[in-house]
Structure 1
Amino acid sequence: MSKTNQGYFFEDYHVGQSLHHATSRTLHDGDVAMYQALYGPRFALQSSWDFASPGSSLRNPVMDDLITFHTVFGKTVPDISLNAVANLGYAEGRFLARVESGDTIHARSEIIGLKQNSNGKTGIVWVRTRGFSNVDVPVLEYVRWVMVRKRDTAAPAPEAVVPDLAKVVSADALHIPDDLDWSNYDFAAAGEPHRYGDYAVGEIIDHVDGVTLTDPEHMMATRLWQNTAKVHFDVTARPDGKRLIYGGHIISLARALSFNGLANAQLLAAINAGAHANPAMAGDTIRAWSEVLDTAETTNPHVGALRLRLVATKGAAGALRGEDGKYLSDVLLDLDYWALIPR
């Protein structure tokens, strides 16, 4: 009997199935340094131990929210997307607590939807994942859906169950850290003067800079999160003989680029929706732009929330869909999220 893990195929899942993912991972300052080296984010709260109002506990190191996301996501790959064709989208994501150096992260998931594709070779799996630190502190939850291969194309199709997901996380449901004190926020140290009231719904922000993707960087990043999906490493796993770049790598690069114009959007609060619109490969040069979709006040009088669309593209800022309503071929990522910003 084989002792190796071949991963789950579409017919191995059933709605209501619970998965407790191995292996827990303890995060350290080294993860922060590696993240900085890979993506170069300049958001002050994650870059400076001293960027906070006097007396705030946020003077301790603040780990980038996407480190938490990638770590939890990576835990799920052997059980959810090892045999995936593509990671399709996200919904109902919420960042629930701050993760600090020394915290140990683990993840659990529940299968909430299944639908076999018409070709009979693949199916869509919807999964709700929750990440925890130090045994039982919830730090992150989100839904994603993945196209997964079937092991046996003759296996019967399960009854289709497509979950009804919220299009937007309600602003009332956003987690605002109790100790987030921005009453004396230092805009000069943050890098830009723009605050909550300076952004208008419908505004388009071109983040200007570009990054050319390379195989060594995205493979190192994907290994950092212990993401074992074959398509990111093995050129024989795809018919075109290319390594597919992990979608989370594009998310982090686009988020880092968004500093130019959104430097004060310091913390991620929620992921409302997301789509990896087209595949990214080494050699592609990506740029990013954002659209302000909504604004909301929070329970903290010094903190506002911006609902933003973050788009990573090989094309022009502001261009998203064609006349047919489909994503343009240059668009790689369309991410709808809430960010916290000083008022």
Structure 2
Amino acid sequence: MTANPKSNSGNFFEDFKPGDTLIHATPQTVTEGDLALYRALTGSRYAQYSSAEFAKAAGLPGLCADPLHAFHIVFGKSVPDVSLNAVANLGYADGRILRPVLPGDTLRAESQVIGVKENSSGKTGVVWVRTKGVNQRREEVMSFVRWVMVNKRDAASPAPEEVVPQLPEAVSPQDLTGYPEMKSWPFAQAGSRHVYEDYTVGERINHINGMTIQEAEHQITTRLYQNTAKVHFDFHSQKESRFGKRLIYGGVVISIARSLAFNGLENTGQVLAINAGTHVGPLFAWDTIYAWSEVLDKAELTETAGALRLRLVAVKDQNPGAFAYKDAAGKYAEGVLLDFDYWAAIPRAR
């Protein structure tokens, strides 16, 4: 049976034109149940996303969605239009978390195509989009750039004019917004007394703990974000793929690695910006995620709050502190899953 013309088969590489705006379907209202399910699936223990009273004391309006949870929701809205026919989600840049998302807020998303480049094989191409998430008051809550490798509908289609956007290496500290004042911070409840002044640039922290991912968990997680990418769900269609099985959504790796980073970075729950991100290697059911972080930079925000620029590296099935994640030529080591560069708020010394 052929596909019904009313069905959406997704966009292929030829369909993307720089300057086009894609309005993504299915706005999503965030509920307290969503927040609880996110914690259950990721094991997150950051206090401001676990306790409404702690969040209010820290300067947030109440118990909010973890910024990465909100990011995945907005990302998921974009999948049917941007990456339904993707081979791989390649990276992120210039991500800005602008304001908190509370239960009852409704998120919708749209993307602008900002770049296209056909690959040398002629069978796929890379598409760059800038996606933004907006709440029910038409306030922009976040924006980010991502690029994805997408299949061509017809390999014989002529290559488009190449457009590769220029992206910043990192979000400037002066552009960081949406952080709480952190005037009150119950350190015992947060789980650590380590503050901004305790971290040094170049310091590495092995987060030690690991988490094994099972089939049901990654499927439920991706459904929570309404991410419809075939590579994550459709085992039948993936049997002939390069991996021969379903690939776990890279956002699962990001959130679980961030949850593991609690051990050593307990007071950095508030993600402010995503500077860069690369999904280095694939993750499958029954693989175990471990992580370590490196402090790349620091910035004073207020008298009571600072920001750490952190590199979060996730690996699978090995001690993250026991090997170099890149060789002398800059090639990633076997087993590296994620290289994620972000800013996070942290209280300063009292």
Q: TM-score range by the shorter chain?
A: over 0.9
The question of 1:10 aligning with 2:13 is answered yes
Q: CA RMSD, aligned part only? A: 1.3
1:336 to 336, 341, 344: 341
Farther off after superposition, 310-319 or 284-293: 310-319
- Is structure 2 residue 327 aligned with structure 1 residue 325? no
Mapped to 1, the partners of 2:328 and 2:258 lie a distance apart of 28
**Contact in 1 for aligned 2:93/2:144 (Cα 8 Å):** yes
Counterpart pick for 2:146 among 144, 147, 150: 144
Question: Is it true that 1:254 corresponds to 2:278 in the alignment?
Answer: no
Partner of 2:45: 42
Residues 64-75 of structure 1 correspond to what in structure 2 (within 5 A)?
64-75=66-77
Amino acid at match of 1:69: F
- What amino acid does structure 2 have at the position aligned with 1:185? W
Match of residue 265 from structure 1: 268
Provide the secondary structure at the position in 2 that maps to 1:306.
strand
Deviation readout 1:59-111 (Å, 9 max, x if unpaired): 62122111110100000000000000000000000000110000000001000
Post-superposition Cα deviations, 1:248-273, rounded to whole Å, max 9, x if no partner, equal: 00000000000000000020000000
1:279 equivalenced with 2:285 (yes/no): no
Matches within 5 A, 1:190-205: 190-205=190-205
**Distance change in 2, residues 1:52/1:28 (3 Å):** closer
1:32 is the counterpart of 2:16: no
Note if contact 2:201-2:297 (Cα within 8 Å) is conserved in structure 1.
Answer: yes
Deviation at 1:283, TM superposition (A): 1.7
| Matching residue's letter, 1:305 | A
Q: Per-residue displacement from partner, 1:151-186 (whole Å, max 9, x unpaired)?
A: 000111001110000011000000044xx2322311
CA shift at 1:53, angstroms? 6.4
Distance 1:111 1:202 in 2: 36
**Cα distance per residue 1:24-71 (max 9 Å; x no partner):** 0101001001001101111000011111565x7626212211111010
Q: Measure the CA separation in 1 of the matches of 2:271 and 2:211.
A: 22
Query: What are the equivalent positions in structure 2 for 1:120-269 lying under 5 Å apart?
Result: 120-177=122-179, 180-235=180-235, 236-237=237-238, 238-269=241-272
Q: Indicate if the aligned counterparts of 2:100 and 2:178 stay in contact, CA closer than 8 A.
A: no
Using structure 1 for the length normalisation, give the TM-score.
0.96
Structure 1, residues 132-158: CA drift from partner, whole Å, max 9, x if none? 011511001000000000000011100
Q: How far has the Cα of 1:222 moved from its partner? A: 0.3
Name the CA distance, whole Å, in 2 between partners of 1:19 and 1:240: 30
Matched residue, 1:312: 314
Offset from partner CA, 1:259-302 (integer Å, 9 cap, x none): 0000000200000000000111112111000000000011x211
Q: Which amino acid aligns with 1:229?
A: A
2 CA distance for matches of 1:304 and 1:200? 13
Query: Does 236-245 or 68-77 show the bigger shift?
Result: 236-245
Amino acid at match of 2:51: S
Q: Is residue 95–residue 141 contact of structure 1 (8 Å, CA) maintained in 2?
A: yes
User: Paired residue for 2:64, among 62, 65, 68?
Assistant: 62
Q: What residue identity is the alignment partner of 2:45? A: R
- Consecutive unaligned residues of structure 1, counting only runs of 5 or more, are none
Distance, in Å, in 1 between the alignment partners of 2:59 and 2:266 is 21
C-alpha contact 2:51 2:63 (8 A) present in aligned 1: yes
**Alignment partners' CA distance in 1, 2:78 and 2:296:** 30
Q: Give 1:323 deviation, angstroms.
A: 2.9
Between the aligned partners of 1:132 and 1:59, the Cα distance in structure 2 is 18
- Structure 1 moving runs of 4+ over 6 Å: none
Matched-pair contact (CA < 8 Å) for 1:276–1:334: yes
Closer/same/farther in 2, CA of residues 183 and 328 from structure 1, 3 Å limit: same
8 Å CA contact retained: 1:53, 1:184: no
Q: Match of 1:86, as an amino acid?
A: A
Aligned residues: percent identity? 55
Q: Structure 2: which amino acid aligns with 1:331? A: V
The DSSP-based 3-state class of the residue aligned with 2:24 is: strand
CA drift of 1:3 comes to 0.5
Q: Secondary structure at the match of 1:256?
A: helix
CA distance in 2, matches of 1:120, 1:68: 35
SS of alignment partner, residue 51 of structure 1: helix
* Secondary structure of the corresponding residue to residue 262 of structure 1: coil
Contact 1:272 1:336 in 2 (8 A): yes
